[in-house]
Amino acid sequence: MTRLSLRRRPRRNRKSAAIRDACRETTVGPANFVYPLFVHERDDDIPIGSMPGCMRFGRRGLLAEIERARAVGIRMFAIFPALTDELKDPRGSKSFDPAGLVPRTLSEIKSRWSDTVLVTDVALDPYSSDGHDGIVGPDGRILNDETVEVLCKQALCQARAGADVVAPSDMMDGRVGAIRDALDADGFAEVSILAYTAKYASGFYGPFREALDSAPRHGDKKTYQMDPANVREAELEVELDEAEGADMLMVKPAGAYLDVIARVRAATALPVAAYQVSGEYAMLKAASERGWLDERRVVMESLVAIRRAGADVILTYYARQVGEWLAEV
């Protein structure tokens, strides 16, 4: 058998676990995660059928889950409220109620763990009787500027309660600049804005809408969320959100939009976040429960891919579970 004479043999850098670890280009760990959690007004924890392992938490359950996650290095949490229908109205008025579910939750978490970074959703869909991210006009259109006024009130309410990062997910034009001005004018210049810069009108959000009962009562979200066919438009949104004062930029969903993450990464010096959304989580869980996939292996591969594409931060429902896996190593 003839021996090949090759000066370059890439396999030399794969020959042992130690060398592979030393040469690894992309890493992922708890410091990269934001852990999304659902909270409701009830005392008990309610499993979410389409998201195995996820709950609508009551107060005690939420605090216990945060404590478990902190034990494996998770320090950033995104809080999403599930409200009953009687608390919803067409203008999402409960979104800026200082005695509301989110402000109370933020205050209690901060009183226990002051070093925890709390990220809050700025959008009206959990509070709206119409289920839209903005105020619906008489003709069915989503009213951009009227919605932005309410979003500013919501962001201020959250900042006063202890939010470290407000994350407008509504995709209204101009809301980042308006929120930045409102925060600065009220003495919250240190509160960060994580802009949902490229949030697509995706079919992967279904389980999340079940978790919050926030699906639109009529129509869809295509007039404000982005067309999944577009990528240049994401670069325009990057330019606008940067100019308006965003501190971090988000791409949502993540797995089917790795090319968008890469384009956004190339277009900005700001930190880039990506959201591994409920539908991505549900697919991985369902296939793994059926024995079709090795859950640990494919979850880690999916998260490495998101990081490799350019995301600095990943919002993932797997945050605590991955933290536990990594702690075993």
Residues with a catalytic annotation lie at 199, 252
DSSP for 24-60 reads ------GGGEEEEEEEESSSS-EE-TTSTT-EEE-HH
Query: 165-168 and 192-199: which strand pairing?
Result: parallel
User: In sequence order, which residues have a C-beta less than 8 Å from that of residue 20 and are 6 or more positions away?
Assistant: 13, 14
| Contact call for residues 280 and 254 (beta carbons, < 8 A) | yes
Token couple for 309: 């594409």
| Contact call for residues 297 and 307 (beta carbons, < 8 A) | no
Helix, strand, coil % in the chain, rounded to nearest 5: 45, 20, 35
Q: How far apart are CA 151 and CA 55, in angstroms?
A: 26
Phi, psi of 259 (to 5 degrees): -65, -35
Query: 142-143 and 135-136: which strand pairing?
Result: antiparallel
Question: How long is the chain?
Answer: 329
What is the CB-side half-sphere exposure of residue 137 using CA atoms within 13 A? 8
| Contact call for residues 291 and 37 (beta carbons, < 8 A) | no
